[in-house]
Amino acid sequence: MIYSSEAIVLENKEYGEADLIVTYLTREFGILDLFAKSPRKIKSRFGSSLEPLTYSKISFIGREDKLQKIIQSDILYPFQKIRENYKTLLKLAEIVRWIIQFSPKKEKNPELFNLMLTVLKEIENSNKHENYILFLKIKILSILGYLPDIRYCGVCGKMLNGEHYYLKGFILCSNCLYKNGFEDIDNKTKDSYMIPRGVMNFLNSFLKWQLPYLERVKINEKLMNQVESFIKKHISLTVKL
Ligand SMILES: [Zn+2]
């Protein structure tokens, strides 16, 4: 049986002397590892279609419980400009790692595929890379269920307002922080668990933004760094990468 799908290359790994294992995010089958025979032997269009972030139409064969083999790969869009921008590529590589790590293999996820494709197209034609990358990060964590609840307390379930604290992967209200053995902590220690109000407000509104807005908006650099470090802390505490 021959399968086919649109797909975005997430990464490729050398396999044997001239072969590759390519990890794709596909529209029809979710995350897939596929075998590519001899793309490294000669510089070919087939070989360049396996470069990370390339958007292609692929066909492959083989039993579903075995490593399936790519028999055709036609580039739909190479995202050449993104791949020539080292800084952006590095940031996207982090997001790609999350996708591979956090999504179950062979599970169709149209929302994830569409998001990735749409945002890559925007980045390719924009110079507001940082806005789009932050958007992609937060949306992907949200789609894959790795974003903590930002509206309700992770312990008591009440709507969050006032002060917010971050503890072991959850956002808590101040009441619940105290109940978790924090009765006696001094203000300085307590503050180190606090999420800046700006970050919470930003996350709340950011998830509702539409793509065209990202092209116009200027996100304050300090706020962007605070949001980035909150996400980084959350990922490092909840997931082993
Ligand atoms: Zn609570």
Res 238: pLDDT: 81
Protein residues with C-beta less than 5 angstroms from the ion ligand 1: 153, 155-156, 173, 176
Predicted TM-score (pTM) above 0.85: yes
Q: Taking phi first (over 0 means left), then psi (-120 to 50 degrees means alpha), and beta for anything else, what does residue 64 get?
A: alpha
Digit-coded pLDDT (tens) for 130-157: 999 999 999 999 999 999 999 999 999 9
Distance 71 CA to ligand 1 centre (A): 54
Half-sphere exposure of 119 (CA within 13 A, CB side): 25
Q: Which long-range contacts (CB under 8 A, 24 or more apart) does 219-227 make?
A: 219/130, 219/131, 219/134, 223/198, 223/199, 224/130, 224/134, 226/196, 226/198, 226/199, 227/134, 227/199, 227/202, 227/203
Q: How many angstroms does the Cα of residue 172 sit away from the middle of ligand 1?
A: 5
Task: Give Cα 216 distance to the centre of its chain.
Answer: 22
pLDDT at residue number 168: 82
Q: What residues contact residue 122 under an 8 Å CB cut-off, 6+ apart?
A: 132, 211, 214, 215
Distance 110 CA to ligand 1 centre (A): 34
Q: What is the pLDDT of residues 146-195, one digit of tens each?
A: 999 999 999 999 999 888 899 888 899 988 888 876 766 777 777 788 89
Taking the CB of residue 54, how many other CB atoms lie within 10 A of it? 22
Q: b/e string for 184-210 if b means 16 or more Cβ within 10 A? A: eeeeeeeeebebeeebbebbeebeeee
Reference 234, options 157, 152, 138, 163; nearest CA is 138
Calculate how far, in angstroms, residue 165's C-alpha sits from the geometric centre of ligand 1: 10
If you count them, how many residues does the chain have?
Answer: 241
Q: So what's the pLDDT on residue 144?
A: 92
* Tens-level pLDDT at each residue, the chain (241 residues): 999 999 999 999 999 888 999 999 999 999 999 999 987 776 778 889 999 999 999 999 999 999 999 999 999 999 999 999 999 999 999 999 999 999 999 999 999 999 999 999 999 999 899 999 999 999 999 999 999 999 999 999 999 988 889 988 889 998 888 887 676 677 777 778 889 999 999 998 988 898 999 999 999 999 999 999 999 999 988 876 5
- At residue 42, the pLDDT reads 66
CB atoms within 10 A of CB 214: 20
pLDDT at 241: 52
Domain 1-78: top CATH class: mainly beta
Give 18 Cα–ligand 1 centroid separation in angstroms: 56
Q: What's the pLDDT score for residue 240?
A: 64
Q: How far is the CA of 227 from the centre of ligand 1 (A)?
A: 22
**What are the sequence ranges of the domains in the chain?**
1-78
